[in-house]
Structure 1
Amino acid sequence: MQSQDKAVLLAILEAAVDAIIVIDSRGTIQTVNPATSTLFGFSKEEMLGQNVNMLMPSPFREQHDGYLSNYLKTGEAKIIGIGREVVGKRKDGSTFPMHLAVSRMSIGDQILFAGIVRDITDLKNVQNQLAQANEQLEQRVQERTRELRAAQADLLKSERMATLGQVSGGIAHEIRNPLNAVRTSVYYLRNVQNPSPEKVAEHLERIDRQVSLIDNVITALSDIARMPEPAVIPCDVNDLLRKIVCSISMPRNIQVELDLPDTGLQAGIDPNQVSIVFRNLLRNARDAMPDGGVITLTGQADSENVVVHVTDNGVGIQPDDLARVTEPLFSTKARGMGLGLAISVAILKKNHGRLDVKSEPGKGTTFSVHLKPFLAEHTA
């Protein structure tokens, strides 16, 4: 039976994936397994009978015998029975981080020590990459925090504190989800043993992608708060709409029809800013018709208003959502950020206009853009 047990132990020693080294009380190597040769580059014959400090770089090489002597005299363990991270040295002189666990054995009247060595190079690389990712994340969060604080100051100055509760709730929702994804990846990288390079890259890319989502939310909010004063000029709204329609890609199953008067749609606006409004409305109309349909742009004017209606025959908006569609960070789209209409409202307010909406679920939606005629704008 003892012979069989000995054969099993020898087989385990030979098959172990971690390096196993047995030394005596003077640090002399008594036996090693094949994994030790693979890890350090020395053959078994080159190691047997040598001091184990041959596998250590300075200053560990010079200190090792003192550790053993001190332990045998005082019983004070620094590695034995504890395990710790140390540095190993290969035959070619290169060094690598490793985890070393040492156990004491008594064979008759002889004291032996068995060390189990695991190469943790991959783990250290992951930790370093994670530290860099955390540092970059911290820097970006600090930058965006400063911008958000500046945006909040602008909100105070422009007396928009009434919407701050809605905005802060939306920010929490939009930022919490990507932060949870970042936290999941960080937990994985911190705790997984020997992750593959592909898995490491996958989680680092995931962290970067989620941080970009957070960055986009805060940037869009900053854009709303820091909207520059419009450069108002006389603008032919007909011509502006035709150019915008030509610039937006539409699926083949969606048609855009223009029903505009030949003259009379002359507004006093900043065309660059108001173009953003109409692009947002056309994209929303397109997205509201996944099965295709017709978007109609109609216009009318009187002495006080130039009005453009953007109408689709899509899915419509539920009554409970209709009053909230222009709120910052509120969206009825599965992947919408909820800022397009909020930005549009802010732009129109700067340009002395407004946005109205009517909708019937299942039949479609009409957004009405009210602008000031050029003459009224400049004689007021």
Structure 2
Amino acid sequence: MHSQDQAVLLAILEAAVDAIIVIDSRGAIQTVNPATIRLFGFEKGEMLGRNVNMLMPSPFHEQHDGYLANYLQTGEAKIIGIGREVIGKRKDGTTFPMHLAVSRMAVGDQILFAGIVRDITDIKNAQQQLALANERLEQRVQERTAELRAAQADLLKSERMATLGQVSGGIAHEIRNPLNAVRTSVYYLRNVQNPSPEKVNEHLERIDRQVSMIDNVITALSDIARMPEPAVIACDVKDLLGKIVSSVSMPANIRIESNLPDSGFQAAIDPNQVSIVFRNLLRNARDAMPDGGKISIAGRVAPDELVVQVSDTGIGIKPDDLARVVEPLFSTKARGMGLGLAISVAILKKNKGRLAVESQLGKGTTFSVHLKPFSQEERSHDE
């Protein structure tokens, strides 16, 4: 049985794919398998009895004997029982990366060490190629990111320029008309002979009105640009709307109906800012019904938001104009500045809300104000 075991072990040694090298306590090679011969290029007779450091390049060649002596003296293992990546040297002087696992053996009263060596050149090459591919990929990602940012900057610039052109055209229209009226009155006052006091006063009042109109345009635009950060609190929307309705003048031929929840209708908003939104909507609804009608104010609690709808039974908005009603300086009114809804949108955006509109010609318009509800988490935070 003992001889059979030896035969099996010898067969394993001979057939092993990995190189197997056995050395004694002085580092002298005792035996090697065929895989070792193929890997290093030495014949078996060229290796037997020689120090195993012949298979190592500098500085491992010079350091190996010290590692072995240190282990035998202290028992501190650097490779033995651990395994690590090292560099091997072939007979022709070329080097290659290899994984070395060393085990200690006691054969009778002799200490031997068996080293199993595997060539990991292909693995290292694959790792280098993967690292290079990752580096190239990272570079491409950075390049594409830079291109995307540049494209976004160009798009933003284009959008800003388009908006600037759109707004500047509206501003020019809103300011040019009053200026023409002022110019006409100034021309009259300068050139008319002996004007009556009534005529002088009429033109001075006209100039004052037109200057006030220009000032209103500039003030409204400044309000949009410099809208302060909202002071958000828990606001009872029903109570807020009640106060707003009572503050907006309505003709006798317009009635207001309100249908708002009695509880659970608290929004996280700045009431002073959002009041401006509802006042604008009520005035717009009033102005859309010159012959009278009904304004309906309805509220509902939707998932993650509160919705307040302000509806009128007025003339409605043309489909082509519906998408533009919130643009600065766009108005469907003959004498409107077209800033009320633009300001409303800006206010709601700062208060984490939004505005939607639906309309049918001859039937009326509904503006929906979507607000953020005041949550229990916000309540706890404020307390």
Shorter-chain TM-score: which interval?
Answer: 0.5 to 0.7
Q: CA deviation at 1:200?
A: 2.7
Q: CA deviation at 1:190?
A: 2.6
| Alignment gaps of 5+ in structure 2 | 1-155
Counterpart for residue 319 of structure 1: 319
1:280 partner letter: N
Counterpart for residue 209 of structure 2: 209
2:370, 2:162 → 1: CA distance? 23
1:341, 1:271 → 2: CA distance? 17
Q: CA deviation at 1:263?
A: 1.8
1:196, 1:262 → 2: CA distance? 62
2:291, 2:341 → 1: CA distance? 23
Normalising by structure 2, report the TM-score: 0.55
Counterpart for residue 182 of structure 1: 182
Superposition pairs for residues 363-374 of structure 1, below 5 Å? 363-374=363-374
Alpha-carbon spacing, 1:207–1:246, altered in 2? closer, same or farther (3 Å): closer
Alpha-carbon spacing, 1:195–1:246, altered in 2? closer, same or farther (3 Å): closer
Counterpart for residue 339 of structure 2: 339
Counterpart for residue 252 of structure 1: 252
Counterpart for residue 231 of structure 2: 231
Structure of higher CA gyration radius: 2
2:332 partner letter: T
Q: CA deviation at 1:205?
A: 2.5
Q: CA deviation at 1:377?
A: 8.3
2:285 partner letter: A
Query: Identity of counterpart residues, as a percentage?
Result: 81
Counterpart for residue 167 of structure 2: 167
Bigger mean CA deviation after superposition, 191-200 or 269-278: 191-200
Counterpart for residue 243 of structure 1: 243
Matched, 1:353 2:346: no
Q: CA deviation at 1:161?
A: 6.2
Deviation string for 1:21-58 (max 9, x for gaps)? xxxxxxxxxxxxxxxxxxxxxxxxxxxxxxxxxxxxxx
8 Å Cα contact 1:317-1:359 kept in structure 2: yes
Q: CA deviation at 1:206?
A: 2.0
Q: CA deviation at 1:229?
A: 0.5
Q: CA deviation at 1:197?
A: 3.2
1:273 partner letter: Q
Q: Give the number of equivalent residue pairs.
A: 223
Superposition pairs for residues 4-15 of structure 1, below 5 Å? none
Counterpart for residue 280 of structure 1: 280
1:197, 1:294 → 2: CA distance? 46
8 Å Cα contact 1:303-1:373 kept in structure 2: no
Alpha-carbon spacing, 1:313–1:377, altered in 2? closer, same or farther (3 Å): farther
Q: CA deviation at 1:265?
A: 1.4
1:238, 1:223 → 2: CA distance? 26
Q: CA deviation at 1:184?
A: 1.2
Q: CA deviation at 1:162?
A: 5.5
2:179, 2:249 → 1: CA distance? 33
2:368, 2:160 → 1: CA distance? 23
Deviation string for 1:253-280 (max 9, x for gaps)? 2111111122221110001110111111
8 Å Cα contact 1:354-1:371 kept in structure 2: yes
8 Å Cα contact 1:304-1:376 kept in structure 2: no
1:182, 1:282 → 2: CA distance? 32
